[in-house]
Amino acid sequence: MARLRLAGAYADNDAVRDAAATLCRVPLRVKAAEQPLGTRWSTFVQYPYRTSYLLGETTVACSLAAPTGTARLTAPLR
C-alpha cells in the first residue's frame, strides 16, 4: 500500500517501531477511509530492526490487512 523511508537516529528497536508506526499513521488513515462501510481490516507495519537500519535498510511498508478469523473477504481491500 505505501512504502516510506525512515530518517533519523534511533536508540533501540522500540524507537524504530514507534517511528515506523508514526510514519504510517496518515497513509493508513487515508486508505482506511476509502474502504466500504462495514469492511473489517487491521493495520500491518513492516520495519527493519535497528541493526538493519544502521546498515542502510530504511524502508517501511504500511498495509491494511484482513483480520484473521472465520470471515472472508468478499472483495479486495481498495
pLDDT in tens, 11-31: 999 999 999 999 999 999 998
- Report residue 12 as a C-alpha cell: 533501540
Higher pLDDT, 43 or 60: 60
Residue 6 has pLDDT above 90, yes or no: yes
What share of the chain in percent tops pLDDT 90?
63
Q: In terms of pTM, does the model score above 0.95?
A: no
Higher pLDDT, 41 or 68: 41
**20: nearest Cα among 9, 33, 5:** 5
Q: Is 39 exposed, middle or buried (0-12, 13-18, 19+ CB in 10 A)?
A: middle
